[in-house]
Structure 1
Amino acid sequence: MTALATILCRYMLEQTVGDSATRKSYAMNSLEADIDYFMTEINELFASLQPKGLNIRILKKRLDALGSNINLFSAFDPSWVALKAFHDWLGRNFLSSYDAAILYTEHDFRRPGKKQWYSNEIRISVSA
């Protein structure tokens, strides 16, 4: 399973029947359902701002899962290295017309100047 990103491999383990393509399809559907749930919870939080005159709603345009892990950085690099790689990937793949792009990673990042580790961070990159 080294040809798939780590997160898809985790979801593929849930499906024990079928060939690789079937299990990958199941994994993508399961991942997408989890992300939809995550977005629903965020929208619930934003709905609490409506009485104050703010109407914010998050919609998903598309979900891309990498075909393999990208190890452009070591586990000991600060998170800005991964964020730069993510930003560069967005630019190379003509994904510059977005309001926000979310990166979910299986890597543990260390904040610059801090000794604590933060795992599975979700980072948002906002388009200019």
Structure 2
Amino acid sequence: MTWDEEPVRVRVPATSANLGPGFDALGLALSLYDEVEARVVPSGLHIDVSGEGAADVTDAEEAHLVVRAMRAAFDDLGGGQPPGLALRCVNRIPHGRGLGSSAAAIVAGILAARALAGAS
């Protein structure tokens, strides 16, 4: 597989669920966005995290939720894993407040992996 050498940038909004009678079926996108910039590098895993909860995930490496989502997406796409990854994550969605920070990280990882792999 040929990997895209240009970085990809992904913005994912915070969400709130349990809206009235819609329970978990209705959600609301909010104007807080996590941003992820990802690029393929020759080797290793390099993650720079700033913003909300950065201290909690700075040393996460392969356990970082964006990385885990990217790895799963690369596997699902069938092209194998890239030789290395560099990520820059700017967290604006507070962790543990019910605003979808985990979901945003997963969606950002999937979208970034698809873009780097050239999936449509």
Output the TM-score relative to the length of structure 1.
0.26
Instruction: Decide which structure has greater strand share.
Output: 2
| Structure whose alpha-carbon radius of gyration is higher | 1
Output the TM-score relative to the length of structure 2.
0.27
Larger RCO (CA under 8 A, 6+ residues apart)? 2
Instruction: Decide which structure has greater helix share.
Output: 1
